[in-house]
Structure 1
Amino acid sequence: MKKKSILVLLMAFILMLAACSNEPASNESNDDPASKDDAKVEGEITVWVHPYTGDAAKEEEMWKEIVANYNKDFPDVKVNVETIPWSNRDQKVLTALAANNGPDVFYAIPDQMPQYADVGMLLELDPYLEDGDLDGFVESSLLSTTWKDKKYGLPILQEAYTFFYNNEVIEAIGEDPAKLPTTWEEFDAWAAKAKEKGFYALNYAGGGSMNGTIYPWIWQSGGQVVTAENEVKINNADSVKAFEMINNMYEKGYIPEDSITASNHNELWFGGKMLAILGSGIDLTLLQKEGTFDFSIAAPLKNKEQLTYGTTGMFVVPSNSDNPDAAAQFVKSVTNAENQRIFNTVTQYIPTQEEAKDIFDSNEHMKQLSTYTQYALPGVIHPKGRAIMPFIQSEVQTMMAGDKTPQEAADAAAEAIEAELAKP
């Protein structure tokens, strides 16, 4: 792609971020995408990754092994792997692409992908995908790599948020760790018993991301926030049930008093004052490290649906890559089962290739957690998914403070989202 074209796209995107606009720009397609069977892939590519662990030396060896596997099929491609910090990654990518010296492949998360794809900054990967290329992936992991029915990335890692229970608290309320709640009604019954015995039932970080607070409840109730077609559904009957659930837990004291603005409840949890937390693999690591009490992991709760939140990490190719064929093939290679085993053994994330989950065969808890990615949604996949979060958070907080009913809070959130989507 010519430098002038990508600059136009990037200027449009930067304006979109600043003014929260949603005007799509055209995406130039590459002619004759290459597969390893019908064209020679050669040249050089640069891959931007992040520090996924605290061990830089181990990660360097990991990438050497992954690149070596890629070069078995494409020996004439030189791969330069560069590690960039997590902080300000959006700005760094945008600045580099605007200067026409950005990477050929980079790591992205679900709320970045649709923003980039919607203004034509990403290469469509469908022309590079052959029969069977997607067969091994967990179906839910592909949701975040797709925008308007086009594939713009392939996933390498997933998480799955679910309930972790303190077995000592379970026994204190007269219940059995072998019979954990599976529905909203069952959990509510346990929550009431926990309250009676002086425990909180659950954490609720109202000052954090909606992904770890109200969104899982919305999805479980059968609701949605906003669709790719800009249909706002956060205030429909199903979604409002999630607002009611949160409000009910707060009014009854099932969640802590500071839940409106809290960032976490780790002190209460590790102090043995809480029945359960909604957590992920990071929380599992902390529990195993702390060793303060026995715990059990439950499947995500179900109301109308059995769903939860779990981020997806993916690799994408910018539309102005100097070597799109080699870059696309690298994305396919780095996310295949063999390389996912290498990557996720080091990083301890959950592979998105089903067969690669065998890396957890000797880790009982991670093996169990990895089975729940089938229920994991990666958030609100929309170019404005990140921008609308503060509106929702504000209305949920107002509801919890007692100033609005659940329906009023949901209606106000819907109004704010619609106004955001209508901005020119």
Structure 2
Amino acid sequence: MSMRMRALAAAALATGMLAACGGGSDSGSGDKQTVTMWTYPVIADQAKHQAFWDEQTAAFEKANPSIDVKVEIYPWAKRDEALSTAIAGNKAPDVVYLIPDQLPKYAKTLQPVDEYLSAEAKADYRDNAKASVTIDGKMMGAPILMTSNPLVCNKKAFDAAGVTTYPTTWDELLELAPTFKDKGIDVTNHWADPAATLNQSFYPLLWQAGGDVFTPDGKKTAFAGPEGIKALTFLRKLVDGGYVEKDLLTGLPKFEQTHVAQNKVACTWQHVPADVATFWGEENIKVFPPLKDVKQVAYGTVGSLAMFKAADDKEAAGKWLAFATRPEATKAYDTASNNFSPQKSTGSLYASDPVQGEMEKTLDLTTAGPLNEKARDVMGVLAPEIQAALIGKKTPEQALADAAAAADALLGG
């Protein structure tokens, strides 16, 4: 997801997508219908990813001989630009992989998927997975995977500091901070550069304090209330105490240059085991539920397959979407991609894995965040203000108030 492409390359990518798509479903020869789907490198190994979808399409076409399915895998980079271009040119695919914060942006062009999923299939989804794709009571995508960003701690750092208990609350984390600092270890880390997503940094604390980004009706922001001030004040205490790496407050150093990679951070909720395994050693990775203040909640996204209204044959596209997101498929897809299942019937995918198994146990404590069309725009306004508070240019109260004023203007408030 972090790949960067020059504007010219992005334009070429968009053109290539349009050519590959060819305008969504078409009749083809005879009575056959063609369903097109765009997805992205969920499985990092391109060959394995393509093989997975080749196997799924072959099985589907055998059971549905009148439907051909074409799955195209494109880069993460500039995917929204390319998809928007395709929609504007009436060249969108029939089905596409989307995450929750994309759904509101495309909601007007998406076909709700409820009618294409059986009652049993819908009941099988975890409540938070289903909520993450639901807008105005309608499912705008069929979940195919989940992720979680709980508390991940480094046993090596705990051993070096002589600490044997792991934190479960904000207060416990703060109480441990001086002990770790005495050993040259940060109790946690915090990426405050505006380019870093708030989903994995500030928002989890906001939710844990009992707050939210938007009001329930989505028409105004809510992060500047007492809960937001409490969360940002907590972060400010970590910074002022010298308990986090200050370079991360103003820049984005290479990961290997950070204290996390150097085994100088005790716990983090901004990285998952796959990020740190090479540096910590898997035997030193300890996974715990997210920290708790008023609530215990972590960020986790949900990948889903969505259908466009412009699909020529919605029945055919709906059959494919239901087939591709059935438990048998998600179980295989999620284990191959090191993700987790959004469905209860699949059971534990990692029962014998001491790290992934613990990650899996935290899924019901996750939220994908607000489903608001302006969510990314609001994040763009809020992030610099949070940074300003953490580097001492503003108080938490003033930073959040300024951000709220600007963000509410974006929302039309």
TM-score tier (shorter) = 0.7 to 0.9
Is residue 124 from structure 1 mapped to residue 117 from structure 2 by the alignment? no
Contact 1:334/1:340 (8 A) holds in 2: yes
CA contact (8 A) 1:166 1:293 kept: no
Match in the other structure for 2:252: 263
Shift of 1:161: 0.5
Residue 343 (structure 1) aligns with: 333
How many residues were matched structurally? 378
- Distance in 1, Cα, partners of 2:39 & 2:304: 11
Equivalent position amino acid for 1:147 in 2: I
Cα separation, partners in 2 of 1:98 and 1:111, compared to 1, 3 Å: same
Residue matched to 1:206: 192
2:46 corresponds in structure 1 to 56
Query: Which whole-Å CA distance do the structure 2 matches of 1:242 and 1:259 have between them?
Result: 18
SS of the residue 1:81 aligns to: strand
**Residues 145 and 73 of structure 1, relative CA distance in 2, 3 Å threshold:** farther
* CA-to-aligned-CA distance 1:322-343 (integer Å, 9 cap, x gap): 1111212222221221000121
Instruction: Give 1:70 deviation, angstroms.
Output: 3.1
CA 1:73 to 1:103, structure 2 compared with 1: closer, same or farther past 3 Å?
Answer: same
Give TM-score scaled by structure 1 length: 0.84
Name the CA distance, whole Å, in 2 between partners of 1:314 and 1:219. 23
Give the secondary-structure state (helix, strand or coil) at the position aligned to 1:156.
Answer: strand
Shift in alpha-carbon separation, 1:288–1:369, aligned structure 2, 3 A: farther
Task: Identify the match of residue 83 of structure 2 among 77, 86, 93.
Answer: 93
**CA offset at residue 81 of structure 1?**
0.9
Distance 2:262 2:221 in 1: 40
Percent of aligned pairs with the same residue?
A: 28
2:405 maps to what in 1? Answer: 415
CA contact (8 A) 2:223 2:404 kept: yes
Coordinate RMSD, CA, aligned: 2.1
The answer for the alignment partner of 1:276 in structure 2 is: 267
Kept in 2, the 8 Å contact 1:391–1:416? The answer is yes
> In structure 1, what is the equivalent of residue 11 of structure 2?
none
Please say if 1:361 is aligned against 2:351: yes
Change (3 A) 1:357 1:69: farther
* Counterpart AA for 1:246: L
Deviation at 1:72, TM superposition (A): 5.5
* Counterpart amino acid of residue 284 in structure 1: A
Deviation at residue 290 of structure 1 after TM alignment? 5.9
Q: Determine the C-alpha separation between the residues in 2 that align with 1:199 and 1:405.
A: 26
> What is the letter of the counterpart of residue 306 of structure 1?
Q
Question: Structure 1 unaligned runs (5+)?
Answer: 1-40
Post-superposition CA distance 1:397-418 (Å, at most 9, x none): 1111212211111111111111
In structure 2, stretches of 5+ residues that fail to align are 1-30
SS of residue matched to 2:205: helix
Q: 1:2-81 residue pairs with structure 2 within 5 A?
A: 43-71=33-61, 73-81=63-71
Structure 1: distance between partners of 2:130 and 2:70: 26
Q: Once the 2 structures are TM-superposed, how far is the Cα of residue 217 of structure 1 from its aligned partner?
A: 0.2
Which whole-Å CA distance do the structure 2 matches of 1:286 and 1:403 have between them? 32
Distance 1:360 1:280, change over 3 A: farther
CA deviation profile, 1:275-302 (whole Å, cap 9, x unmatched): 1222454x33641576287231111111
Q: Distance in 1 between matches of 2:142 and 2:89?
A: 26
Q: Is the 1:160–1:280 contact (alpha carbons within 8 Å) kept by the matching residues of 2?
A: no
Contact 1:357 1:370 in 2 (8 A): no
Indicate the residue corresponding to 1:298 in structure 2. Answer: 288
Whole-angstrom CA distance in 1 between matches of 2:325 and 2:59: 11
Distance 1:301 1:354 in 2: 24
- The aligned counterpart of 1:402 is 392
2:17 — aligned with what? none
Q: Per-residue displacement from partner, 1:304-347 (whole Å, max 9, x unpaired)?
A: 11101112111101111111112122222212210001211221
Displacement of 1:68: 3.4
Q: Aligned AA for 1:130? A: S
Partner of residue 377 from structure 2, selected from 357, 371, 387: 387
Counterpart in 1 of 2:148? 160
Residue 206 of structure 1 and its aligned partner are, at CA, apart by 0.9
- After TM superposition, the structure 1 = structure 2 runs for residues 188-267 of structure 1, keeping only pairs within 5 Å, are 188-207=174-193, 208-227=196-215, 228-263=217-252, 266=256, 267=258
Structure 1 residues 409 and 350, CA gap change in structure 2 (3 angstroms): same
Which deviates more from structure 2 when the two are superposed, residues 231-240 or residues 385-394? 231-240
Q: Note the alpha carbon deviations across 1:346-386, whole angstroms, 9 max, x for none.
A: 21111211333533233221111011111111133200001
1: CA distance between counterparts of 2:357 and 2:278?
Answer: 14
Q: CA deviation at 1:196?
A: 2.7
User: For residue 169 of structure 1, what is the aligned residue in structure 2?
Assistant: 157
**Contact persistence 1:159–1:280 (CA under 8 A):** no
The alpha-carbon deviation at position 42 of structure 1 amounts to 6.4
* Residues 155, 313 of structure 1: 8 Å contact kept: yes
Shift of 1:198: 2.1
Equivalent residue for 2:9? none
Write the letter of the residue equivalent to 2:232.
F
| Partner of residue 99, structure 2 | 109
Query: For residues 159-218 of structure 1, what are the alpha-carbon distances to aligned partners after superposition, in whole Å with 9 as ceiling and x for unaligned?
Result: 111222121221333322xx4211111111112321233211111111211111100000
